[in-house]
């Protein structure tokens, strides 16, 4: 007998979250296969709001748009503001609005990728940047089919974020510590954040960057190009 409703029947319990993740992972596998077939490096950028994802993208585009083909999928709950910033750099961008969801999923990325290809009009695409919704929790659990996951943590957020959000660190291949020029103005321990991050993920690539001073941007670009050639 069912303990919940006393109906006398056995009930099959379905873990909805598990089912959602399974469906997402299947679509992510298909995305990655598609990217591989077309020789595209897919990069998923995750962070809290305001950490500098879009600014990093703008700097990256300025450095590479004449050398490689770049396309961007912009994730946000509402508006096309970030996509408009990217388009002003001369790079095709598709805005993916979730309507309230705190992360992108692989099905939405699949749809956005095909819309992006229409904008490309046959032009070469070497790197697909996926700027996820500003959040360090939910995006960490959803594979989008990317080859490279990069987490950004800005200096104003504090050096305790790796320990507070370990999933974001454990599932990423690189950590960008952004707004490094602000270190003198905050109680921020650069060595501690690196030590904590590496304790969670010893293979993590860590790069200090500042969009204002240019610190670390060449290191980031070189890292990206190396991954593309791989």
Residue 100 belongs to some domain of the structure:
yes
Q: Which residue has the higher pLDDT, 211 or 20?
A: 211
- State the CATH number of the domain containing residue 88: 3.40.50.300
Q: Could you tell me if residue 43 is inside a domain?
A: yes
Q: Each residue of 13-66: pLDDT tens digit? A: 445 456 778 999 999 999 999 999 999 999 999 999 999 999 999 999 999 999
Q: What pLDDT score does 121 carry? A: 87
Domain count for the chain:
1
Q: Could you tell me if residue 12 is inside a domain?
A: no
List the structure tokens of 183: 């270190």
Predicted local distance difference test score (pLDDT) of residue 79: 78
Burial 119-153 (b: 16+ CB within 10 A, else e): eeeeeebbbbbbbbbbbbebbbebbbbbbbbbbbb
């Amino acid at each position: 007998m069912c303990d919940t409703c006393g109906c006398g029947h056995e009930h099959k319990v379905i873990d909805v979250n598990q089912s959602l993740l399974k469906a997402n992972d299947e679509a992510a596998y298909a995305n990655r296969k598609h990217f591989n077939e077309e020789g595209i490096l897919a990069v998923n950028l995750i962070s809290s709001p305001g950490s500098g994802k879009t600014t990093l993208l703008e700097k990256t585009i300025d450095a590479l748009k004449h050398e490689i083909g770049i396309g961007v999928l912009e994730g946000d709950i509402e508006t096309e503001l970030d996509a408009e910033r990217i388009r002003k750099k001369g790079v095709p961008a598709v805005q993916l609005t979730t309507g309230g969801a705190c992360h992108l999923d692989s099905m939405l990325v699949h749809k956005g990728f095909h819309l992006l290809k229409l904008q490309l009009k046959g032009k070469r695409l070497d790197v697909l940047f996926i700027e996820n919704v500003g959040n360090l929790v939910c995006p960490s659990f959803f594979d989008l089919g990317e080859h490279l996951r990069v987490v950004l943590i800005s200096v104003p957020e504090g050096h305790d974020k790796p320990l507070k959000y370990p999933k974001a660190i454990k599932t990423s291949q690189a950590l960008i510590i952004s707004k490094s020029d602000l270190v003198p103005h905050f109680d921020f321990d650069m060595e501690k954040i690196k030590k904590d991050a590496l304790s969670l993920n010893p293979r993590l690539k860590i790069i200090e960057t500042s969009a204002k001073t240019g610190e670390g941007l060449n290191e980031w670009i070189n890292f990206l190009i190396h991954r593309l050639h791989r």
